[in-house]
């Protein structure tokens, strides 16, 4: 993959959008296919990795791990590792992650209505 120069116009435009547009900022944090689904799964409380994997069977282990790390780095998810053998790791939403739950639930509500055809024009 080719590296993008930090001073490129594309990078400058992206930084400007992130600084000025709240929607772009949110999408930078939770964009993609799996992150909102992970947040939705964690909205009911903390979960172990294996429980998340079973709840989202279509995601690969590699992608789930990557997205959990990104969500943790962005301060939306907290990883709690207990020093026992075998390791006991759980994931839970941070305060910022919990702040996104109304947004995630609104997305789910919209999806149910759209799937039921409520928004179809007559």
pLDDT bin (cut points 50, 70, 90) of residue 5 is: low
Evaluated on CA atoms 97, 99, 101, 104, the torsion sign reads: negative
* pLDDT (mean) for 43-50: 94
Residue 77 has pLDDT above 80, yes or no: yes
pLDDT at 19: 74
pLDDT at 36: 95
Burial of 38 (0-12, 13-18, 19+ CB in 10 A): buried
Q: Where are the beta strands (DSSP E) in the chain?
A: 47-48, 77-82, 88-93
**∠ CA(61), CA(93), CA(11), 5° rounding?**
70
pTM to 2 decimals? Answer: 0.80
What is the per-residue pLDDT across 82-100, written as a single tens digit (0 to 9) for each? Answer: 888 888 999 999 999 999 9
Evaluated on CA atoms 108, 112, 118, 121, the torsion sign reads: positive
* 23-32, 60-69, 97-106, 107-116: the lowest-pLDDT one: 23-32
């Amino acid at each position: 993959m080719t590296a993008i120069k930090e001073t490129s116009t594309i990078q400058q435009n992206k930084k400007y959008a992130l600084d000025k547009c709240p929607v772009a900022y949110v999408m930078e944090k939770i964009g993609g296919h799996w992150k909102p689904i992970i947040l939705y799964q964690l909205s009911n409380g903390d979960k172990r990795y294996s429980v998340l994997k079973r709840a989202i069977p279509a995601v690969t282990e590699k992608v789930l791990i990557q997205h959990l790390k990104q969500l943790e780095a962005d301060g939306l998810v907290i990883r709690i590792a207990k020093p026992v053998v075998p390791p006991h790791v759980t994931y839970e939403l941070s305060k910022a992650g919990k702040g996104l739950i109304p947004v995630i639930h609104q997305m789910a509500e919209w999806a149910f209505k759209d799937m039921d055809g409520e928004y179809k024009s007559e």
